[in-house]
A = this chain, B = another copy of it.
Amino acid sequence: MKVIKKIDELRRELKQYRNDKTIGFVPTMGYFHEGHLSLMDRAKAETDIVVVSLYVNPTQFGPNEDLAVYPRDFECDEQLAKEHGVDIIFYPDNDEMYPDGYKTYVYTEELSKKLCGKSRENHFKGVTTIISKLFNIVQPDVAVFGQKDHQQAIILERMVEDLNIPIKMIIAPIIREKDGLAMSSRNKYLSHEERKQSVILSLSLKAAKESVKKGETSAEIIKQQITSQINTSSLAKIDYIEIVNSKDLIDVKIIEKGTFAAVAVYYGKTRLIDNVVLG
């Protein structure tokens, strides 16, 4: 496995494969957990050469967010990637990605203002911009993202379609801890008690899915059910609970195909997200 920090070097390295191998790509911010590793495994299963980018992208963090303290452990990440058959880690620094005079942004309007976009104003603009850049640098055949960031996945699929980017997108399932908590690099911020209570996110979504299976079709009732369940967790502060469609993230009244429930909940300063497809 190679670790490459420069764009030009990565391009040279990948050039040799372009004629007869397929390239898979997993963009990450590092601090790998089973969720990331499942994306690498998926890329490995789909393509010949797997590139993982490891870059904590500053433009997707707001001024009061956790950029400075975002967890990092490159040596551990390197080891894990190697064990999962990754061929290249692209590990650029900020000067390489946003040199002086940088001015261009990619923006998927409307979709970026909803759900997480309400409390994280420029977050998705940062995401679509960095992913556009990485796609142009790596030029993969296939890119793999996680379903945990469902809104991100929907926005990136929209961007790929809108901008005619010739890359196949794969959205892989959420990987969970044994008790159901969706894996996230931010889980490490949780105190022991917060960690214990945070299981309520996945439990409430699982219960919501059960209710829908049993015949409930009212989004309002499902939303109330999730809300009251999360509110049993004394340390939880709800950012949002939304029942929306996958196409344009608009609130629905009746749960149907493509409807999903998404939640964002603060435990202290730690913001956790989770989601489930209901319909």
Seen from chain A, the residues whose Cβ lies within 8 Å of a Cβ on chain B are 7, 11, 19, 101-111, 128-129, 132-133, 136-137, 139, 158-159, 162-166, 247-248
A11 neighbours in B (Cβ, 8 Å): 166
Contact A133 B163, beta carbon cutoff 8 Å: yes
Residue of B nearest to A162 (CB): B104
A128 contact set on B, CB distance < 8 A: 104
Question: Which residues on the B side are within 8 Å of A111 (C-beta)?
Answer: 103
Bound-complex Cα distance A268 to B198 (A): 67
Contact A110 B106 (CB under 8 A): no
- Can you report 26 A-B residue pairs in the complex whose CB atoms are below 8 A from each other? A7-B164, A11-B166, A19-B19, A101-B158, A101-B247, A103-B109, A103-B110, A103-B111, A104-B107, A104-B128, A104-B162, A104-B163, A105-B106, A105-B107, A105-B109, A106-B107, A106-B163, A107-B107, A132-B163, A133-B162, A133-B164, A136-B163, A136-B164, A136-B166, A137-B164, A139-B166
Complex contacts, A104 vs chain B, CB 8 Å: 106-109, 128, 158-159, 162-163
Q: Which of A108, A139, A163 has the most CB of B within 10 A?
A: A163
